[in-house]
């Protein structure tokens, strides 16, 4: 019954990114377009993609397309990995752009030039003793699979994902131990464009399609786990969910019950399937409340067997903020925003400039809740503060607000370790400034490393170290003691 006070030896300190948000080179060396390449920059990004007229335009003079250029990491990855090495990263979470490997998504053979890029990226990480952590699919479905096949609601995509996963797992399993199957798989609850390739014109407004898409993704996930474990049973293959601790607004049992359902549906529905290998008991209730008739879903006995046999090894999750559930005071709240979710404002919390409620204690609660429920190692694979940075006259960036945010969240992790929770690692989001997923802005920055690039795509692309860079280096050096 000893209380653990310290971060464990071998704790995976690092940072996280996604191919579509930093690589750029969107049409180079055989890469095909992904859905991210069709999303315009700016705060109205989701509103545009959520409109009936949206039709996956890749170039429209009304808009900018910041993912096309990213931060030019495709050509500058050596410089970037070197900086991660200088910070002492133990691991680096990145994703493989599916459409770099299978440009249209449905080819039989992969694009060798795309694979070469990841050969070099992985080798560069290993050169600095950085363990690669790969997300197989992070909001970057090949565009053709959304346009021609209608996105993840189409079962055909299972086969294409399986082929993609097999290619990358076979190629890299001897160099890469840690894998994640789908980024924030539950985010489709509120906005299925990025994780499922569903927009109104191909069925996003019918929740049956979203649930069918999830099921197809669960089957695809199980196949990836199976392939990975057959190649090497030591591989660690995790799920990845968007976790938002949710509180009932008050002690009113009606709100408490509504919040319980919010937790079951948003935070746990996907993880239950991927971790426990079966749909949880609350699924039938959730489907009924969303007017989904189970008879309209295609779920086979073989699928269920596959899910049961191929569960994940760990739980990866992103944590930025918490939520509040209130079903009793309709119209009385000021709403807040968040990563693909929204809700009622919590009077005890402050928000970021983008309206995301900052709640480190909520992370400690999340870690306890997830560990109580699943008893699997937890990996915080995203966390951070999106903020506007100002470059001082001498070129320095004094981002004490970011240090403060991260420090409080690391303290919350320490608290959870004392509570007995098993945590594998921590990879703050956007360790180098990159294009925002929800708004396509560059000015919403998360990095320890500043990139000279603005929302219109102007800038030298030069990299520089923020104050948080030096701070995080010490955190890693001291294994979390020096905060």
Q: What residues are labeled active site?
A: 382
Handedness of CA 139, 140, 145, 147 (dihedral sign): positive
* Least distance between ligand BG6 and beta carbon 376 (Å): 20
d(CA 396, CA 467): 7
Residue corresponding to tokens 């870690």: 367
d(CA 294, CA 306): 19
Out of 154, 183, 311, 364, the residue judged to bind ligand BG6 by CB under 6 A: 183
Out of 80, 140, 184, 455, the residue judged to bind ligand BG6 by CB under 6 A: 184
Pick out residues in 93-122 that bind ligand BG6 (CB under 6 A): none
| Closer Cβ to ligand BG6, 152 or 279, answer by number | 152
* Least distance between ligand BG6 and beta carbon 70 (Å): 12
Residue corresponding to tokens 């653990």: 4
Binding range to ligand BG6, per CB under 6 A, among 329-337, 403-411, 438-446, 466-474:
438-446
Transcribe 367-393 into DSSP letters. Answer: HHHHHHHH-S-EEEEE----B-----T
Under the binding rule (CB under 6 A), the answer on residue 386 touching ligand BG6 is yes
Out of 23, 313, 359, 382, the residue judged to bind ligand BG6 by CB under 6 A: 382
Binding range to ligand BG6, per CB under 6 A, among 83-91, 297-305, 431-439, 458-466:
431-439
Out of 137, 212, 436, 468, the residue judged to bind ligand BG6 by CB under 6 A: 436
Binding range to ligand BG6, per CB under 6 A, among 157-165, 214-222, 429-437, 449-457:
429-437
Residue nearest to ligand BG6 (CB): 438
The CA–CA distances, whole Å, from 365 to 244, 372, 437 equal 10, 10, 26
d(CA 98, CA 271): 23
Q: Would you give the DSSP letter of residue 3?
A: P
Out of 11, 12, 18, 212, the residue judged to bind ligand BG6 by CB under 6 A: 18
Tokens of 424: 């594998």
E-strand ranges in 105-202 read: 131-137, 178-182
Under the binding rule (CB under 6 A), the answer on residue 322 touching ligand BG6 is no
Tokens of 248: 């009932």
For the chain, what's the residue count? Answer: 483
Pick out residues in 337-356 that bind ligand BG6 (CB under 6 A): 339
Give the residue from 137, 170, 164, 127 showing the smallest Cα distance to 35.
137
Binding range to ligand BG6, per CB under 6 A, among 111-119, 359-367, 411-419, 433-441:
433-441
| Closer Cβ to ligand BG6, 18 or 130, answer by number | 18
| Closer Cβ to ligand BG6, 163 or 444, answer by number | 444
* Least distance between ligand BG6 and beta carbon 234 (Å): 27
Out of 323, 438, 450, 472, the residue judged to bind ligand BG6 by CB under 6 A: 438
Site track for ligand BG6 across 255-294, x = CB under 6 A = ----------------------------------------
* Least distance between ligand BG6 and beta carbon 362 (Å): 16
* Least distance between ligand BG6 and beta carbon 297 (Å): 26
Under the binding rule (CB under 6 A), the answer on residue 34 touching ligand BG6 is no
Pick out residues in 452-481 that bind ligand BG6 (CB under 6 A): none
| Closer Cβ to ligand BG6, 139 or 218, answer by number | 139
Out of 426, 429, 450, 472, the residue judged to bind ligand BG6 by CB under 6 A: 429
Q: Are 183 and 139 in contact, with CB atoms under 8 Å apart? A: yes
| Closer Cβ to ligand BG6, 357 or 439, answer by number | 439
| Closer Cβ to ligand BG6, 167 or 434, answer by number | 434
d(CA 144, CA 375): 39
Other Cβ atoms within 10 Å of 233 Cβ, number: 8
Out of 67, 318, 364, 427, the residue judged to bind ligand BG6 by CB under 6 A: 318
* Least distance between ligand BG6 and beta carbon 455 (Å): 13
Side-chain half-sphere exposure of 70, counting CA atoms within 13 A? 23
| Closer Cβ to ligand BG6, 216 or 438, answer by number | 438
Count of residues engaged in binding ligand BG6, rule: CB under 6 A: 16
Instruction: Give buried/exposed letters for 6-24 (b at 16+ CB in 10 A, else e).
Output: ebeeebbbbbbbbbbbbbb
Side-chain half-sphere exposure of 362, counting CA atoms within 13 A? 23
* Least distance between ligand BG6 and beta carbon 104 (Å): 23
The CA–CA distances, whole Å, from 20 to 140, 164, 342 equal 6, 17, 24
Under the binding rule (CB under 6 A), the answer on residue 437 touching ligand BG6 is yes
Report residue 16: phi and psi, to 5°: -135, 145
Pick out residues in 214-243 that bind ligand BG6 (CB under 6 A): 242
Q: End-to-end CA distance of the chain: give it in Å, rounded.
A: 27
Q: Are 94 and 132 in contact, with CB atoms under 8 Å apart? A: yes
User: Cα 188 from chain centroid?
Assistant: 12
For residue 152, give every residue at least 6 positions away whose Cβ sits within 8 Å of its Cβ, in sequence order, or none.
141, 195, 196, 197, 198, 213, 214, 216, 217
Interface with ligand BG6 (CB under 6 A): 18, 21, 139, 183-184, 242, 318, 339, 382, 386, 429, 436-439, 444
């Amino acid at each position: 019954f000893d209380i653990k006070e310290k971060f464990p030896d071998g704790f995976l300190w690092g940072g996280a990114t996604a191919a579509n948000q930093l690589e750029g080179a969107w049409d180079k060396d055989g890469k095909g377009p992904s859905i991210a390449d069709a999303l315009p920059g700016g705060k109205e990004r989701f509103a545009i993609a959520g409109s009936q007229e949206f039709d996956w335009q890749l170039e429209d003079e009304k808009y900018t397309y910041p993912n096309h250029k990213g931060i030019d990491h495709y050509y500058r990855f050596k410089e970037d990995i070197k900086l991660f090495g200088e910070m002492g990263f133990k691991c680096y979470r990145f994703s493989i752009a599916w459409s770099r490997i299978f440009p249209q998504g449905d080819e039989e053979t992969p694009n060798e030039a795309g694979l070469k890029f990841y050969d070099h990226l992985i080798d560069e990480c290993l050169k600095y003793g950085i363990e690669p952590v790969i997300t197989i699919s992070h909001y970057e479905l090949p565009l053709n699979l959304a346009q021609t096949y209608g996105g993840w609601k189409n079962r055909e995509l299972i086969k294409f994902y399986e082929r993609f996963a097999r290619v990358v797992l076979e190629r890299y399993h001897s160099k890469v131990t840690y894998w994640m199957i789908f980024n924030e798989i539950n985010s489709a609850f509120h906005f299925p464009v990025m994780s499922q390739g569903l927009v109104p014109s191909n069925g996003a407004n019918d929740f049956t399609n979203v649930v069918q898409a999830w099921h197809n993704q669960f089957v695809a996930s199980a196949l990836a786990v199976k392939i990975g474990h057959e190649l090497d049973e030591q591989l660690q293959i995790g799920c990845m969910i968007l976790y938002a601790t949710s509180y009932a607004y008050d002690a009113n049992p009606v709100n408490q019950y509504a919040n319980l359902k919010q937790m079951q549906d948003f935070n746990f529905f996907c993880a239950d399937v991927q971790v426990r290998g079966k749909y949880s008991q609350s699924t039938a209730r959730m489907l009924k409340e969303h007017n989904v008739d189970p008879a309209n879903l295609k779920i086979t006995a073989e699928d269920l067997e596959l899910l049961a046999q191929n569960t994940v090894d760990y739980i990866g999750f992103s944590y930025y903020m918490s939520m509040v559930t209130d079903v009793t005071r309709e119209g009385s709240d000021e709403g807040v925003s968040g990563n693909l979710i929204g809700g009622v404002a919590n009077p005890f919390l402050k928000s970021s400039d983008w309206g995301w409620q900052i709640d480190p204690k909520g992370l400690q609660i999340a870690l306890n809740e997830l560990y109580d429920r699943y008893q699997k190692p937890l990996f915080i694979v995203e966390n951070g503060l999106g903020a506007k940075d100002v470059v001082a006259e001498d070129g320095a960036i004094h981002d004490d607000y970011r240090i403060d945010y991260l420090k409080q969240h690391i303290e919350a992790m320490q608290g959870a370790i004392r509570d007995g929770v098993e945590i594998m690692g921590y990879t703050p989001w956007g360790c180098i400034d990159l294009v925002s997923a929800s708004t396509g802005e560059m000015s919403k920055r998360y990095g320890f490393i500043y990139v000279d690039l603005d929302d219109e795509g102007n800038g030298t692309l030069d990299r520089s170290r923020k104050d948080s860079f030096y701070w995080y280096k010490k955190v890693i050096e001291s294994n979390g003691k020096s905060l």
